[in-house]
Chains A and B, each alone.
Chain A
Amino acid sequence: MSTPDHNVGTQSRIGCIRIEGLRKSLGGRPVLREVNLEIKCGETVAVVGRSGCGKSVLLKHLIGLMWPDAGRVLIDDRSLAEMDRRELYATRHRFGMLFQSAALFDSMTVAENVGLGLRHHSKLSSAEIDEKVEACLEAVGLPGVLDKMPSELSGGMKKRVGLARAIAMDPEVLLFDEPTTGLDPIMSAIIDNVIVDLVDRLKTTAVVVTHDMRTVNTVCHRVAFLHRGVIFAEGTPEEINGSEDPVVAQFITGSAEGPIQPVR
């Protein structure tokens, strides 16, 4: 399997993210022990690891939805913890996030969900917002669902609406939390293709949290393997796939036998 051919480096506007010595405990249990990771501009990085290893927790730290017990997250060399609320929100303007459950606002229609950020932050007219919402839905391959409520959508459609909402504000960094979890293989492949297409077209930096190696191989330039609260291995998808480390190999092959023991 080869790395995706969309280019790394110069096209992205801004959005370098550095994680330094991040530690986080939840309910007294250390989840992240010492995470160090750098995500370069324009790069698509996958954070992989077993369920419950702290991938989503790590992702939420990148945007200030969770705060570290120790360590820091730097966005373009500026620590999130040092920002006041106004600056934090200004930084969040540069992000778009697809949540694991899509997190659509269930009291709003699809159009209202996708257009919410635009209505609150842009100076576009109502007609321009409607146009942009339609374009975003078109981009994720979901035209004609503007007036539907989230409860009327399938899991895959919800994810795509979530994706449309994430790109509506033209983000410079896209965060994906388990974008294909719970979807059938065909829908997963469709979502993967949509992500590749969007990242390529919008020239964004992207962080994909997943345990689906097919998504990793299709979408990402680099992989960080999170294990026991640290980045245990890092490399291109080819390097990770070919790793001889027993821990990494067990995860890649999905074997029940090996050094990784079931969480009790």
Chain B
Amino acid sequence: MRIRRETLPIRILEAVGCGSIRLATDVGAVVVMVWRMMAALPRLLRHPSLLLEQADHIGVGSIPLVLLASLFTGAVSAAQAGYQIQDYAPLSLVGAAVGKAVILELAPVLTALVVAARVSTSIAAELGTMRVTEQVDALEVMAIDPIWFLAAPRFFAGLIMTPVLVLLATVIAIFGGYLVSYATLGLSTATYYHGVQQFFLVWDVVINQTKAFLFGGILTLAGVFFGYRAQGGAEGVGRATIEAIVTACVMILMFDYIVATVMM
């Protein structure tokens, strides 16, 4: 028997074609899921306990982690800024450098990445386990829409709570920068905060919150989407969890660039 082997270009074409179809299917599925979650919002608002429970888990539960991460983010920003500008510019600019970097970039992105590590994975694992153990099917049989009951509360809680966390992270990171500036660079409190205020723009906070809102949606959507379609037992749940965190991180960085380009 003669086995016909495809040539390399054909195999590349096939791989690209299959990948494109898979990508288009996934994008379509995400759009449908977001649409269904939006449609579920009015009903969700009539049952606020579902939303509040997730807001507590996603938002309040992430506070210690976000505080710790943002404190060190601010601290290292001040240390780096001090090290880099000490030979070229006055150290009084450390406050400005930390303020700008934290508000525009570090607080939204690093908070989103930290929260994604905690929340996207936990959502994907939780929904994935529910999917493979037929708990999602059980909801369907009980005529309870899993999108409304499971996905929408997590998604909207992420949208609401991530901006709050980012705002908190911004304040704490600036404070972390102050601690290092005061303790190791010898800056006074007034000098540091004057620096922060010197180049402060309200528009920067708008960018900060826009990013936070978008990232909150991305990190919960990734968890919900991959968890909801998990298949094949424990291995499938593990795979869904990995896909959720990887996708969330990549999309956060991608959209960070897009927002920066559009809004700055």
Question: A interface vs B, CB < 8 Å?
Answer: 60, 63-65, 85, 89-90, 92-93, 95-97, 99-101, 103-106, 116-117, 120-121, 165, 169
Q: Which residues of A contact B142 (CB under 8 A)?
A: 92, 116-117, 120-121, 165, 169
Query: CB distance B141 to A101 under 8 Å?
Result: no
Query: CB distance B141 to A92 under 8 Å?
Result: yes
> Is B138 an interface residue when CB atoms closer than 8 A count as contact?
yes
Query: CB distance A116 to B144 under 8 Å?
Result: yes
**Which residue of chain B is the closest to A166 with respect to CB atoms?**
B141
CB distance from A61 to the nearest CB of B (A): 12
Query: CB distance B138 to A120 under 8 Å?
Result: no
Out of B134, B140, B144, B145, name the residue touching A101 (CB < 8 Å). B134
Query: CB distance A90 to B143 under 8 Å?
Result: yes
Besides A105-B138, A117-B142, A120-B144, 13 new A-B residue pairs in contact (Cβ under 8 A), listed by A number: A60-B137, A63-B140, A65-B137, A85-B145, A90-B143, A92-B142, A92-B143, A93-B143, A97-B138, A97-B141, A99-B134, A101-B134, A103-B135
Number of chain B residues whose Cβ lies closer than 8 Å to a Cβ of chain A: 12
Out of A89, A92, A106, A169, name the residue touching B135 (CB < 8 Å). A106
> Is B133 an interface residue when CB atoms closer than 8 A count as contact?
yes
Q: B125-169: contact bitstring with A at CB < 8 Å (1 yes, 0 no)?
A: 000001001110110111111000000000000000000000000
Query: CB distance A105 to B135 under 8 Å?
Result: yes
Query: CB distance A95 to B141 under 8 Å?
Result: yes
Q: Which residues of B contact A106 (CB under 8 A)?
A: 133, 135
CB distance from B202 to the nearest CB of A (A): 42
A157 and B145 alpha carbons, distance in the complex (Å): 27
Query: CB distance A121 to B137 under 8 Å?
Result: no
Nearest 8 CB-CB pairings of A with B: A103-B134, A89-B143, A103-B138, A92-B143, A117-B142, A97-B141, A99-B134, A93-B143
Query: CB distance B144 to A96 under 8 Å?
Result: no
Query: CB distance A117 to B135 under 8 Å?
Result: no
